[in-house]
Amino acid sequence: LGRRPSTAPQLPKVRTTASDQRDPKHSYRCGSVRMRLRAAFTPSQPLTDRRVFSGRTEILNGLIRAIEERRLHVVLYGERGLGKTSVLHVLAHAARDARYLVLYVSCGAASNFDEVFRSVAGHIPMLFHSGIGPTSPDAEKGKTLADLLPAGPISARIASDMLAKVVGTRVIVVLDEFDRCESAAFRLSVAELLKNLSDCSVRVQRVIAGVAHNLAELIVHIPSIQRNLYALQLPRMDAGEVRQLVKNGEEVSSLKFDDVVTAAVINVSNGFPYLASLLSHN
């Protein structure tokens, strides 16, 4: 009784729940629009929603043809902020729609061949091994190719011999952020594996992506490997592609960008989808 009302400032509160729903206890103006806007423009994360993916159509067609028709391994490189990971995600969606088994590995500075290959083998079910029947006890127990690997270090030869036994499916192994790998031995083993897989007509293909100004910065030079690769330097987006990026975001967020704002995004982003998404978000 007789207390004065508290004059302490109200602390900021999180305005949406962890399930991406508006908290009814903390309603605020344009809350649902903000949520849709965050879903439409995600500059800090690669795109996972194909509805907001724009441009790169010819690039994706080229990547798909290289994988599907020519059975090549793919190397995608270029500057930071060009959306290489987003392109990989859309490519992976298309491959999964065609029932490819797509395995994604994000490389790090300490990545080594043995660790990466064991991780890949651990995601390939044993029922796709040519020497093991689909009704065998091991296949029915859900075992993987990793259960067949020897205890010692895995070499490129051991890896290619194992993958040569894959039947009944096609496998795409994505090695993203390959430029972060500091081990020369790892890069050499990956290059040797690419060559071995091509020589044996294996049903496994690699897609490698990373920051680089040319192919030699990313892949160890093995002269005979060039004919087994589809190497593509991802260019900056043109004005039409950036305009489509904004338009896709308009449709998802139900917002309308003024023409002068769209023009500013095109000019300032300079062809980088990361900057275009960041400017549109803000």
Contact (Cβ atoms closer than 8 angstroms) between residue 215 and residue 144: no
So what's the pLDDT on residue 65?
95
Structure token digits, residue 34: 């903000």
Question: What does the pLDDT look like over 182-202, one tens digit per residue?
Answer: 888 999 899 899 988 888 888
Which of 20-29, 111-120, 134-143, 190-199: highest mean pLDDT? 111-120
Q: Report the pLDDT value the prediction gives residue 17, as an integer from 0 to 100.
A: 65
pLDDT (0 to 100) of residue 208: 93
DSSP string, 237-272: P-HHHHHHHHHHHHHHHT----HHHHHHHHHHHTT-
Dist. CA 211–CA 77, nearest whole Å? 6
* Confidence at 88, pLDDT banded by 50, 70, 90: very high
Residues 6+ apart with CB under 8 A from 44: none
Task: Quote the pLDDT of residue 46.
Answer: 77
pLDDT at 31 over 80: no
Predicted confidence at residue 1, as pLDDT, reads 56
**Mean pLDDT (whole number) for 202-212:** 91
| pLDDT on residue 5 | 65
Q: If pLDDT is split at 50, 70 and 90, which confidence band does 267 have?
A: very high
For residues 42 and 19, give the distance between their C-alpha atoms in angstroms, rounded to a whole number: 17
Q: What is the 3-state secondary structure (H, E, C) of 93-119?
A: HHHHHCCCEEEEEECCCCCCHHHHHHH
- Going by pLDDT thresholds of 50, 70 and 90, the confidence category of residue 167 is very high
pTM of the model: 0.82
